Amino acid sequence: MAFLIFIVIALFIIEPRWYTNIFLLALIVLVELLYYTEKIFFNTNFSEQVLNVTSYAFVFAFIPLVMATLSVLTYFNSKVLLEKEGRKKSNLFLGLIGVAINMVLIYYIVSMRTISENVYSEIAFYYIFGLFVYFTMMYSATAIYAVLYNWRPIHYTPDYIIVLGSGLIGDRVPPLLASRINKAVQQYKKYHGRPLIITSGGQGSDEKVAEAYAMKKYIHEHYPEIPDEAVVMEDQSTTTLENMQFSKKIIIERFGEKARGIFVSNNYHILRAGFYARKAKLKANGVGSKTAFYYVPNAFTREFIGLLEMFKWRHMTLIALFTIFMLLVLRAVK
């Protein structure tokens, strides 16, 4: 276990933008879970066997309790979002997750009563429960890793600062995007005006101007001390990956291939943006701006699902292997 932790720390220091690091972190969580499961259920000491029975009952009562609590929290968060951010479909997202958790909870309770009736129901129960544990571990590992990535200090003076767009209201910069711009300016001043600020974002169908233009205008209006030549626009991108790829053209023209920089987004988005920066072969790490706490659970859950889609073949391969394993178990016990 100590060796595995050492490997994760070493890889995090070498390259924090490796998705493999999250898999290894999830593996550590799994190993710890299995270790304490063995301690609880397979200890031969008589006095501890009594504890094992109690623990067994506690664990199988604890699981539905946690699931029920999670579903309540998701409903509560969706309610807060609807009140503070308006009636948007995206603000119902976490509530839908809560519905899914409740469905799994109902299945769990029903299956615990019928699991011993036939081998098919037993295998189906452990298969679905295994998938639930897998995605729960991945979510937990991703959340922990996202916090670590946000805390990781920048040990070099950046040549550039990419400000990632997040949408406009007409031609106006909304608070979410303003927090990114303010953070970028803070970083610009931290390095004594040396980095080039790149405002990155094209014009959406519901926007009057390009995001890059609105961001540059915001900087000149709120920070007139920053010279015009210190801010350049990348106004063609429509996705985070394009933000990185199109900004890279400007960076190479100004600084060459060896340039190093940072990109700024909201803290919940920094990790996924880091993977896109690596995909674009940019030598850049993220700096996150603060986000209202009530907004983070919903936004981060969407980021997690975005990461699942981004690395879907890895997850599909592992799920396929797990499915094959359960089919082999079913064949062996029939």
Shared-domain flag, residues 109 and 147: yes
For 117-129, how does the pLDDT look when each residue is reduced to its tens digit (9 = 90+)? 667 777 887 888 8
What does the pLDDT read at residue 73? 58
Contacts 24+ apart (CB under 8 A), 312-317: 314/19, 314/23, 315/138
The reply to whether 183 and 284 lie within a common domain is yes
Domain that includes residue 262, residue range:
160-291
Structural domain includes residue 304: no
How high does pLDDT run on average in the chain? 81
Pair 175, 135 in one domain: no
Are 48 and 74 part of one and the same domain? yes
Burial readout 293-310 (b: 16 or more C-beta within 10 A, e: otherwise): eebbbbbbbbbbeebbeb
Tokens, residue 272 = 């996924």
Q: Would you list the DSSP string of 262-305?
A: EEEEEGGGHHHHHHHHHHTT--EEEEEEP--GGGHHHHHHHHHH
Could you tell me which residue, 204 or 314, shows the higher pLDDT? 314
Do 213 and 193 share a structural domain? yes
φ and ψ at 304, to 5 degrees?
Answer: -60, -45
Q: What CA–CA distances, in Å, run from 11 to 7, 22, 24, 40, 264?
A: 6, 10, 10, 32, 23
What are the structure tokens assigned to 193, written together? 């005006």
Over 70: is that where the pLDDT of 307 sits? yes
d(CA 211, CA 237): 9
The tens digit of pLDDT for each residue in 255-264 reads 998 999 999 9
Using a cut of 0.85, tell me whether the model's pTM lies above it.
Answer: no
Q: 207 and 285, same structural domain?
A: yes
CA distance 141 to 270: 15
As for how many domains the chain has, the answer is 2
- In-domain check, residue 306: no
